A and B are shown apart, each in its own frame.
Chain A
Amino acid sequence: MTDTMKKVLKCVLFIAGLAAILFVLSLVFFPKNNEKKDGIIDVAANAILGEPENTIDVLIIGDSESINAINPLRIWEQHGIASYCCGTSLQLLSYSEYFLHQAFKSQSPKIVILETNEIFREVTLDDLLLHQLEMVFPVFSFHSRWKVLSFRDISPVINYTHVDVEKGYYFSTVVSGTDDSDYMKEMPGEEPIPSINMFYLRKIRSFCKEKGTRLILVSTPSIVNWDHMKHNSIQRISEEEGIEFIDMNLLRKEIPINWKTDTRDRGDHVNYYGAEKVSAYLGKYLSETGLFKSHRSDPAYSQWDVHLKEFNERTEQFNSESGS
């Protein structure tokens, strides 16, 4: 064996050894439960892992727009459809794809809703590379769990027990209104979409197609984050890629958001009152697809009514405290 061959072999062996170590570390660092104390970030979104198998009809992914605007419990109350919001603040499409994979391990939703605001949040090459590393070696994703590691982590047994009462929805009754005189004014042209974002959008579409799941792009109402140029971009993509698109920002009659009272941060996100209107519309839309039958009387979904009761009590308590 030549000297060069020996050196190449040494490099290959070193890398193989490193990969083996990272694999073992990934087993140890992978969270064994989905609670905050187990080092889980984005606890509410990850709580989908604790939902009983194959009980979620609709999976929602997106950034903070999605978790502020869509209230799965209200959709449940009105139509008996079980949806779950896996949105997180500043979510990137790469992270959405991760949630999709995670959720489909135990769920088979018939519809996946992708909130469109994040399509414009650039996924950099660094994000892409880190995401790929995290998929192969989860230790890159969960390395910060060194602070909460225990002997239990040596065992590979995973048992997700945490469920989120609000099913990923972010409840806020704060009112901070804004002027809507320029909202969704006609504008020519398109907002550019970064190429890596398109790559992930197509990956998400392919994944859904492979799973036989319908993908719907939804733009929830936002004065700050949405405009006609973004609408034009998504409209074109939806036509080119054959993906359904609902722009709630243009449905002002159907979803009558009052921007003086229905936003918590001057038009960036809708608040509880805005979410009620968005959820009512979305629930009706989902129901009219004919894909779902109501699970209200299904005992497998009994926890949904318990959670809805808790949520309603919370809102009633808030209403009585605020005198409204």
Chain B
Amino acid sequence: MQLSGFLGAGSAMSMTSFFTLTFFMVFVPLCVISYTLVPNKLKKYQLLLASYIFYWLVSGELIIYLLLSTVSMLCFGLWLDRVQTKMKSTLSVTPKEEKKETKKRYIKKQRLIVLLAVFLHIGILLFLKYSAFFTSNVNILFAFFKIPVALTVPKYLLPIGISFFTLQAMSYIFDVYHGVIKADRNIGRLALFLGFFPQIVEGPICRYSQTAEQLWNAGPIKYENLTFGIQRYLFGMLKKLVIADRLSPIVIEIFDKYNEFSGGIIALGAVFYTIQLYMDFSGSMDAVIGIAQIFGIRMPENFERPFFSRSISEFWKRWHITLGAWLKDYIFYPIVTAGKMKKLTAAARKKIGNHFGPLLAGSIALFCVWFCNGLWHGSAWNFIFFGMYHFVLILSGNAIAPAVNSINHHLHINADSFWYRLMQMVRTSVLVVIGELFFRANGLRNGFLMFGKMVTGLVPNLFDRQGLINVLIRTGRNSLDLIIVAVTLVAVFAVSILNEKGISVRDELAKRKILIRWAVFYLLIVYIVIFGAYGAGYKPIDPLYAQF
């Protein structure tokens, strides 16, 4: 049966952006109204239905992958649970001397189940997302060795959010395996945990223990949650429409035609892209968290002011937090705590000391983490390079840490002073911007060419005014666009500083008189209406992370 177009299947692709009118003026209000109208005990089913309608509207028949993942989660979870229960009952009647062997047997069985789950979930992801990349590289190899074979490069439709919900499904299975959570027998709860509509496009990658129960027990909408949720959403809209989307055409122009620009403009392009990516992704996260809050759901934060980081390692604890945590918990720790790795660490500790010993062993796990991180972002060499770039930075940062501490000590440098911290933040930001240059470049080769041009041409063209004017003219923008971006960035930065100091702007505002509160909200809305990049002369820009 042809499903395309059936009951609106895939007809509202634009809703993958949380800031389209269809999403926030039609879909969300309809959800809120119907959610309010249904009795409390049915609210969870309303959320589930809304989530599946959403996915059906944006993905059409590709919803089958979401259903498959949900059913697979349920089955693997219950299978693991059955083996674990059997293990416990068997161990309780097993003689002490045989217990170890019996346990080992059951754990092996569980590992096989997990392996099968990984094979299925990650296999589908790899197949859909990476088979084109793999075959095209094999063809390059064939051509290089003059083998007269050319494989057909496959093209598959990628379900929206598959990179996110696959990791979420895997985390559930791993957590059941590790005994962190009990296997869930309720497919509705699992389906809602995996498919909750605000989170499915760009995450955050939630753990079962973080959101599953909350979602399934969601109660009536509270006035405070409604207002706080809308405020958070509007703040995200400000970031996305006023900053990210206004910078987008400038970034496209510089990255697509970098050979027409000086090193200074390329550097500016990399800075603009980093700002765009941050504002786009964190703005979308504000929307996700804000919408979830309307329904009383607390989603995990994905960003904690990453540009205040003093090192790359810290940066990744503040940027795309849920991905970093996933990779740490399910790749890094299992590798470093594996028996052979422990032995390697002990041996290395003896040979090269207490600092470099664990570092060497840890670097293997770190390599795997960053290879996966790079690859997760996309099927291209520049993404893999991006991962490796951060691997090298973090590893070298860890390696030289004692030496840096020693130098600081001998030179009486206070590492906690404002200027030292500022220097570290600036250094980290510069390294991040360089990484993003490769990340955004149209292929790894172009990334290197851009980097080369930037490094060699930066000093003579640091303030290439004419070049900047050319970019603005070509994109139909002018200096006023940059001024409005700068002003908005200052406002976002000010909110970030307050947040960093532990002050919640929303809480503070809620304490003020109604006139002040309303004046601030009106100002925010009017600011977005006037300075947002939408309507005639602007092309709607899809959320950047929905592509990964």
Contacts and interface: CB of A to CB of B under 8 A. Distances in A.
B337 interface: no
Interface string A1-30: 000000100100010011001100100010
B518 A130 contact: no
Contacts of A17: 518, 522
Contacts of A147: 478, 480
Contact of B522 (A21, A130, A133, A143): A21
Contacts of A129: 21-22, 25-26
Contact of B530 (A41, A124, A139): A139
Contact of A126 (B20, B514, B521): B20
A130 B529 CA distance: 12
B525 interface: yes
A141 interface: yes
A125 interface: yes
A140 interface: yes
Contacts of B26: 125, 129
A29 B536 CA distance: 14
Contact of B518 (A14, A125, A146): A14
A144 B537 contact: yes
A196 to B, nearest CB: 11
B12 interface: yes
Nearest to A195: B11
A18 B480 CA distance: 26
Interface string B505-548: 00000000010001001100110011110111100100000000
Interface size grouping (class) on chain A: 20 to 34
A7 B224 CA distance: 10
B22 A146 contact: no
Given A126-B21, A147-B480, A25 B529 contact: yes
Where chain B touches its partner, the secondary structure class is helix
A144 B535 contact: yes
Contacts of B521: 14
A45 B449 CA distance: 44
Contacts of B531: 143, 146
B532 A143 contact: yes
A1 to B, nearest CB: 15
B484 to A, nearest CB: 8
B536 A25 contact: no
A17 B523 CA distance: 12
Interface in B24-46: 25-26
Chain A CB count within 10 A is highest, among B518, B522, B535, for B535
B540 A146 contact: no
A144 B241 CA distance: 13
B21 A21 contact: no
Interface in A177-228: none
A129 B480 CA distance: 28
A80 to B, nearest CB: 35
Nearest to B17: A126
B418 interface: no
Contacts of A42: 536
Given A17-B518, A143-B530, A146-B530, A125 B537 contact: no
A29 B12 CA distance: 31
Given A7-B223, A18-B522, A147-B480, A126 B22 contact: yes
B313 to A, nearest CB: 41
Given A29-B530, A129-B25, A147-B480, 13 more contacts: A7-B223, A14-B521, A17-B518, A18-B525, A21-B522, A22-B526, A124-B14, A125-B12, A125-B22, A126-B21, A143-B532, A144-B536, A146-B530
Closest 6 CB pairs of A and B: A129-B21, A125-B22, A143-B530, A7-B223, A147-B480, A126-B20
6 contacts: A7-B223, A10-B514, A21-B526, A22-B529, A143-B532, A144-B536
Interface of A: 7, 10, 14, 17-18, 21-22, 25, 29, 41-42, 124-126, 129-130, 133-134, 139-141, 143-144, 146-147
Interface of B: 12, 14, 20-22, 25-26, 223, 478, 480, 514, 518, 521-522, 525-526, 529-532, 534-537, 540
